[in-house]
Amino acid sequence: MALRDQLLTFSRFLSSNLRWLAGGILLTFCSSVGQTFFIASFAGEIRADFDLSHGDFGIIYMLATLGSAATLILVGRVADEIAIYKVAMALIVLLAAAALLMASAETIPILLISIYFLRLLGQGMMTHTAMVAMGRWFVVERGRAVSVTSTGHQLGEGVLPLVVIALLAMTGWRTAWVVAAIVLVFVALPLSYLCLRTPRTPSQGDRDNHERGRQWTRAEVLRDAPFWAVCTGVLAPAFIGTSVFFHQVHLSALKDWAPGVVASSFAVMSITSVCVGLLTGHVIDRYSARFILPFFLLPLALGCLVLSLGQQPFMMSVFMFLLGGSYGVSNAVFGAIWPEIYGTRHLGAVRSVVSAAMVFASALGPGLTGWLIDLGVGFEQQLLVMCLYCVATMLVLFPVSKVLRQRHLLQPSQ
């Protein structure tokens, strides 16, 4: 009966908030155009066209992504100052333009600029805007709202790699980017207006209770030691996931796997991430994101170990299952924890720092791992180091979680 009641409650939550949740899913799905798994699907064709090594392309990708991370800190606060639907529509148009620029790139500088805008507008601002909206529009049900919105990421990761394979079989990689731009303008743009033009207003009681808590400015957050400790956890999924996705062609060759092994395993990750994320959202609404914080890297640590040591093709699906578990938990936790700890008044500015850190990690991953591959350091050995980082970070996050829970008890209105 308890499970039935929970399902009914969740069903009512979905039906009563369908417009806003659909808008959030749309934004996270559209962010796929700037995500590593999508761009890296064209890695072989891009490296061949521009005569780049793994390390060369990794460095270009790293520089573009680092630039987008630096820019994100500056522009992330627009989500605090401009209506969400206006920000979303502008991002979709600009992301489509970046896709067209990618399709027409003939020189390495234009390739670099194209990737910069794809990363800034897609991975950076699109995801950032969706999470700021959910963090501000929902209070009591914030965990569920964030976890539902994050399913757009998993939908993109599960569907688009197979779409790219089909497009590459029928046409060139440049035409595929033109198709992406067309879909953004003629499908995503009108849908974003329909879903997001009217902001959701939390109930008066929820809003009053939340506003009584301390509303941290970005400057105050940057002086808060637990913030930086939590950010060590933020970096791991972005660094590791991006590194594996970016070097998927190299990994397949290293393991002697068929080209479709990695692409087909994305569906495993997506399904796992959705299921775990929805469950995590419910747990967050009941216990808080602070409670779950230390545990989200455990599946990722195991996944790195499995992918490093395993040689059979099914090991890729095992890794994706474990990665999906970590993604599901981390998407929900890091969508909910910042408004829990620091309030919503300056959420866009605060979260822009976090988003920039994630983008920075995703920039460092392909560049550093590609450079090490060129130096002769095997990717399998690098995965073992990533496993150790996850374990060390978990040990740091346990006392940090305790500090944050004690802070909440001392200041119950926060």
DSSP character for 34?
G
DSSP character for 130?
H
Higher pLDDT, 222 or 214: 222
Has residue 129 got a pLDDT over 70? yes
Has residue 201 got a pLDDT over 80? no
| Location of structure tokens 């936790």 | 333
For the chain, how long is the longest CA-to-CA vector? 62
> Which stretches of 247-259 are DSSP H helices?
248-255
What is the mean predicted confidence (pLDDT) over 10-30? 92
CA-CA-CA-CA torsion sign (10, 12, 17, 18): positive
Q: With cut-offs at 50, 70 and 90, classify the pLDDT of residue 176.
A: very high
Tell me the residue length of the chain: 414
| Segment 278-316, tens digit of pLDDT | 888 888 888 888 888 888 899 999 999 999 998 898 999
In b/e form, how buried is each residue of 161-179, taking b as 16+ CB within 10 angstroms? bebbeebbeeeebbebbbe
Q: Of 40, 139, 150, 30, which Cα lies nearest the Cα of 92? A: 30
Contact 213, 227 (CB under 8 A): no
Q: What percent of the chain has pLDDT over 70?
A: 94
| Location of structure tokens 């500015």 | 349
| Location of structure tokens 């490093």 | 308
| 91-94, long-range: CB < 8 A, 24+ apart | 91/27, 91/30, 91/121, 91/125, 91/126, 91/129, 92/30, 92/184, 92/185, 92/188, 92/189, 92/192, 93/184, 93/185, 93/189, 94/121
Q: Which of 182-186, 212-216, 259-263 has the lowest mean pLDDT?
A: 212-216
Q: What percent of the chain has pLDDT over 90?
A: 38
Angstrom distance (rounded) from CA 66 to CA 72 = 10
- The helix-helix angle for 314-342 and 142-170 (nearest 10°) equals 140
Angstrom distance (rounded) from CA 83 to CA 79 = 7
CATH class of 19-198+207-407: mainly alpha
Compute the half-sphere exposure of residue 262: CA atoms within 13 Å on the CB side of its CA: 24
- pLDDT in the model for residue 356: 83
- pLDDT in the model for residue 212: 56
Angstrom distance (rounded) from CA 236 to CA 390 = 7
- pLDDT in the model for residue 154: 82
Q: With cut-offs at 50, 70 and 90, classify the pLDDT of residue 393.
A: very high
Q: With cut-offs at 50, 70 and 90, classify the pLDDT of residue 382.
A: very high
Angstrom distance (rounded) from CA 143 to CA 333 = 8
Contact 339, 408 (CB under 8 A): no
Angstrom distance (rounded) from CA 313 to CA 94 = 39
Compute the half-sphere exposure of residue 391: CA atoms within 13 Å on the CB side of its CA: 11
Q: Of 276, 334, 285, which Cα lies nearest the Cα of 10? A: 285
Q: Residue type at 169?
A: A
Contact 297, 396 (CB under 8 A): no
